[in-house]
Structure 1
Amino acid sequence: MEKNSLYFVLLLAVMYILTLSSVKGKLGEYFINQRLRRLDKEKYILLEDVMIRNGDAKTAQIDHIVVSVYGIFVIETKNYCGWIFGNENGKYWTQVIYKVKNKFLNPIIQNKGHVKALKALLADYPLATYIPIVVFSIQSDFKKMDVQSEVIFSPKLMRTIAKYKTETLSAGDMNQIAELIKTANNVGASARKEHVQRIHETISMEEQHVSEKICPQCGGELFERKGKYGSFTGCSRYPSCRYIKKA
């Protein structure tokens, strides 16, 4: 009886650990890596969990980079569940689970920052093409998504990569680029911690501004408005500032 109770407690502990966002994120990245490791190693080089300086004393943390003769795939993974709402250019997207809303940085914009950092690092390769891809887990469901970029579910990742068939890099350049990225990926644990903290601070700062009726983009005054699709908070400096927060 005591042994069964111990097993039950251990099972509950494991289930709790698996619900932690950090653990879920790492598991999601692990499963994506398992898929990417099946790529032809003569034409694709996989780099995992890369962090590089982006030139302005900040860092870019990139979940997966695949350097290939067909271009450089820059992959941002989101192991989220629930409904996902977002558009191409909005600063934040929204996750809804049982009517609870959580904001997170627009992964398309995040990935644009990653590409910018890589372009600065790889300035000697101006002809290299970059293919940013955002990958969500199948536990999520897209709702009211308005995007033109590659935003996909994880089972489509390999097919998405495979559709790029035009060789833009030689095998030699591919290997040299991979080595450059590996060399640059020398940021320590403290910088990684600061990177995560800065993301949380950015979100908290915007929430504070909005609560004080201050536009987080331009500093103008925010007003409650009604539109065709319901109430929203908009900036008094419209149309020069187009900040919007849906109710």
Structure 2
Amino acid sequence: MRILRTVIRRIVRAANIDYKGRKGEFKVNEILDTLSAEDTKQKHINNFTLLDEKDKSHQIDHIVIRENGIFCIETKNFRGVIHGNEKQEKWIQTIPSSGRKYRYLNPIKQNASHVYHLSKALGDKYKINSLVVMIRNNASTIQSSNVINLNELEDYLNNYNDGIHYSNGEIIEIYNSLNDLQADITNLEHVQNIRQTKREIIQGVCPRCGGELVEREGKYGKFYGCSNFPDCKFTKNK
């Protein structure tokens, strides 16, 4: 009976996380819809699924194509206080009311994989900007300029400037190329792909490019990096 209760709790928690995630994506989509209505040159795609050269699937919450850049957006609807940075494998969520702590995969690393494969799919012709949006506006304790609050999203996109400027024709071309790349797979197939990726990491294989994961030492200590660096920047903490 105890095992059954544990299984039920896990199922309920997973369903709750999925619901909150979709709710967060909807809020971001509302903002992007408004921006697209105000700026007819902006295009965006939601719930984008990409198959890489190894037929592995990658689900991207939002892709935005604007005059000032291409943005790959990951949304997170975590409540409480979130602590993390770009290097950590997992972030820590603390619920103030109970003091409970939970660990989640670092969404910056998660989105870095999306950016890598998206860039490859587009022939490495464009710079893809990674952005993580915290739906509950609790990004202040996260150490990264690529993580922002939901209420900062509109200003961030409007004011972003790294010298890139796409014409309306280029925006439409990129948008059409992405639509052609949209994959039609089931959620079960995507979950199976995730499990395969985890197995590859355990076996010392880079899940992005198939290279070998080798031990390296950096500013934050020892870690595993892809042997194809700098072409592939996949890393995993030791």
Q: Give, in angstroms, the shift of residue 112 of structure 1.
A: 1.1
Note the 1:1-247 alignment, pairs <5 A. 20-39=16-35, 40-97=38-95, 98-123=98-123, 126=125, 128-138=126-136, 140=138, 142-143=140-141, 145-147=142-144, 149-165=145-161, 166-189=163-186, 192-196=187-191, 199=194, 240-241=222-223
**Counterparts of 1:104 and 1:178 in 2: how far apart (Å)?**
32
**Counterparts of 1:100 and 1:80 in 2: how far apart (Å)?**
13
**Counterparts of 1:71 and 1:141 in 2: how far apart (Å)?**
23
8 Å CA contact 1:82, 1:139 repeated in 2 = no
Relative distance call for 1:99 and 1:194 in structure 2 (3 A) is farther
8 Å CA contact 2:73, 2:130 repeated in 1 = yes
Structure 1 residues not aligned, in runs of 5+: 1-15, 207-216, 220-237
**Counterparts of 2:165 and 2:139 in 1: how far apart (Å)?**
34
How does the TM-score come out when normalised to structure 2? Answer: 0.70
Q: Percent identity?
A: 31
1:181-222, CA deviations, whole angstroms, 9 ceiling, x for partnerless residues? Answer: 111112222xx334346557878999xxxxxxxxxx989xxx
Relative distance call for 1:194 and 1:104 in structure 2 (3 A) is farther
8 Å CA contact 1:82, 1:141 repeated in 2 = no
Relative distance call for 1:106 and 1:45 in structure 2 (3 A) is same
Q: Give, in angstroms, the shift of residue 115 of structure 1.
A: 1.0
Q: Give, in angstroms, the shift of residue 164 of structure 1.
A: 2.1
**Counterparts of 1:154 and 1:119 in 2: how far apart (Å)?**
25
Which stretch shows the higher mean deviation, 96-105 or 134-143?
134-143
**Counterparts of 1:198 and 1:83 in 2: how far apart (Å)?**
31
Relative distance call for 1:86 and 1:198 in structure 2 (3 A) is farther
Q: Give, in angstroms, the shift of residue 122 of structure 1.
A: 0.9
How does the TM-score come out when normalised to structure 1? Answer: 0.68
Query: Which one has the largest radius of gyration?
Result: 1
**Counterparts of 1:56 and 1:204 in 2: how far apart (Å)?**
15
Q: Give, in angstroms, the shift of residue 140 of structure 1.
A: 3.9
- Secondary structure, counterpart of 2:23 in structure 1: helix
Amino acid at match of 1:195: H
Amino acid at match of 2:82: I
- Secondary structure, counterpart of 1:42 in structure 2: coil
